[in-house]
Chain A
Amino acid sequence: MNCDQYREAIAADPSFDGGAGHLSECSACKAYRKEMLALNQRISRALALNVPELNMPELPEVIAGDSAESSTSMSDNVAALPKRTRAPLTWASPTWIAMAATVVLAAFIGFRMIGSGVEYATLGDELLAHIDHERASLVVTNIAVSDARLTSVVPAEVAHLDHSAGLITYAQSCVIRGHAVPHLVMQGEHGPVTILLMPEERVSAPQTITGENVNGVILPVGDGSIAIFGEREESLGRIERKVLDSVTWST
């Protein structure tokens, strides 16, 4: 592989892990690779647009549209609703059909989060939903991701991760609260353990998170935080120490 071929490959896919021989001999391509990884982080951040809530009408709005009388009778007991200038919606409006579609899809696909789901009450809720979303990452395996993949997902500009933490079997750049976040999976004693490195998500104190089948913790680390989730039976303390010892923020 020559310089042109290597650069084309790395620019097309920064997680490309071929050409190790060429890379070890070519400092220019090594620098180019570093540039591409940094560029990819910036692209990832830029693509993560803020997502508006699904535009669903409030229930009283529909009731008001359906029956002026019932609205009047309700006003004896409750505070008056602000007047709305929009045309009243009916149960058969496209918005309500879309809402129904969302609910049915959520049920069919197996998601527990129903509704607009965009605004999570807490960071913990969003992390649990994210882990549920990426269930494919929770595989028991002894096959580690490549160093190149790991460097692509955890670039030097974001954090330094040494290999003492353990066997990392999954690495993906994900978006949490609008920020690109390295999502890693290690193998624990009772199954896969998820680690989310969040250099831009500050928490004031450790938070314990309890999901349906998982337990987790969000630990403050410098100006950011690290979330660790494992099976209920998993003892996270040991993994927490290893992860904290092996991760250093770059900024």
Chain B
Amino acid sequence: MGVYHQDMFRYAAWLSRDKAIAEDVVQEALLRAWKSLDALRDETSAKQWLLTIVRRENARYFERKRLETVDIDNLTASQAALLAVEDDKELDDMRQAIYELEDDYREPLVLQVLMGYSTNEIAEQMELKQGAVLTRLHRARAKLAEKMER
């Protein structure tokens, strides 16, 4: 379960951009998954199933709390904790750049690079057309490359 928990937390953390919220979202997602175990027919798709639950739970969380988009100029302590890196400026800069990406660009990038999803799978998860996913991924990398060059 540990590996799934890692994936769930990292996905939630990059969706919410807040470590504390990510922990709450993962806990809620685990509860929801437990309650709807019947929906999981194929254990090989467990990771995708759990990440879908995390995505929905994250949306519910923000709906419930009516949180506004995080203002990157006003990082809270927990957000700063998410980005904190010791003695590695390059890593720190890249995390900051990813943090600053718009949600529409950040999420497919996380799914592709971190979760190993194909563009088809990302399209399914995000309910988009594959062409839209390709465009977002292309733009996300272009934005990151530009920020890292500054």
Task: Tell me the A residues contacting B by CB distance below 8 Å.
Answer: 8-9, 11-13, 35-36, 39-40, 42-49, 51-52, 54-55, 94-95, 97-98, 100-102, 104-106, 108-111, 113-118, 120, 129-130, 132-133, 135-136, 172-175
**A48-B114, A113-B1, A129-B3 known; A43+B98 contact, CB < 8 A:** yes
**Measured CA separation A13–B113 after assembly (Å):** 9
Chain B residues, Cβ within 8 Å of A130: 3
Chain B residues, Cβ within 8 Å of A115: 1-2
Q: Choose from A11, A52, A102 the contact partner of B138 (Cβ within 8 Å).
A: A11
Whether the Cβ atoms of B98 and A47 lie closer than 8 Å is: yes
Whether the Cβ atoms of A129 and B2 lie closer than 8 Å is: yes
Quick one: closest B residue to A13, CB to CB? Answer: B119
Whether the Cβ atoms of A47 and B10 lie closer than 8 Å is: yes
**Measured CA separation A104–B30 after assembly (Å):** 10
Contact with A along B27-53 (1 / 0, CB 8 A): 110110111010010011011001000
Whether the Cβ atoms of B1 and A43 lie closer than 8 Å is: no
**Measured CA separation A14–B107 after assembly (Å):** 17
Going nearest first, the 8 A-B pairs with the smallest beta carbon separation are A117-B2, A101-B34, A106-B1, A46-B94, A133-B3, A12-B134, A12-B137, A12-B138
Whether the Cβ atoms of B13 and A49 lie closer than 8 Å is: yes
Contact with A along B110-132 (1 / 0, CB 8 A): 10111010010000000000000
Task: Tell me the B residues contacting A by CB distance below 8 Å.
Answer: 1-6, 9-10, 13-14, 19, 23, 26-28, 30-31, 33-35, 37, 40, 43-44, 46-47, 50, 82, 90-91, 94-95, 98, 109-110, 112-114, 116, 119, 133-135, 137-138, 141-142, 144-145, 148
Chain A residues, Cβ within 8 Å of B95: 46
User: Chain A nearest CB: distance from B92 CB in Å?
Assistant: 9
> Main SS of chain B's interface residues?
helix
User: Chain B nearest CB: distance from A125 CB in Å?
Assistant: 10
> Main SS of chain A's interface residues?
helix
Whether the Cβ atoms of A101 and B31 lie closer than 8 Å is: yes
Quick one: closest B residue to A8, CB to CB? Answer: B138
**Measured CA separation A136–B14 after assembly (Å):** 26
Chain B residues, Cβ within 8 Å of A135: 44
**A11-B142, A94-B27, A105-B34 known; A48+B19 contact, CB < 8 A:** no
Most B-side CB within 10 Å, residue of A55, A102, A118: A102
Whether the Cβ atoms of B116 and A173 lie closer than 8 Å is: yes
Whether the Cβ atoms of B1 and A117 lie closer than 8 Å is: yes
Whether the Cβ atoms of A98 and B137 lie closer than 8 Å is: no
**Measured CA separation A8–B41 after assembly (Å):** 37
User: Chain B nearest CB: distance from A103 CB in Å?
Assistant: 8
**Measured CA separation A47–B108 after assembly (Å):** 12
Quick one: closest A residue to B119, CB to CB? Answer: A13
Whether the Cβ atoms of A94 and B144 lie closer than 8 Å is: no
Chain B residues, Cβ within 8 Å of A100: 34
User: Chain B nearest CB: distance from A139 CB in Å?
Assistant: 12
Whether the Cβ atoms of B119 and A43 lie closer than 8 Å is: no
User: Chain A nearest CB: distance from B73 CB in Å?
Assistant: 20
Chain B residues, Cβ within 8 Å of A98: 27-28, 30-31
Whether the Cβ atoms of B112 and A105 lie closer than 8 Å is: no
Chain A residues, Cβ within 8 Å of B5: 51, 54, 102, 116-118
**Measured CA separation A118–B5 after assembly (Å):** 7
**A49-B10, A110-B43 known; A102+B119 contact, CB < 8 A:** no
Quick one: closest A residue to B112, CB to CB? Answer: A13
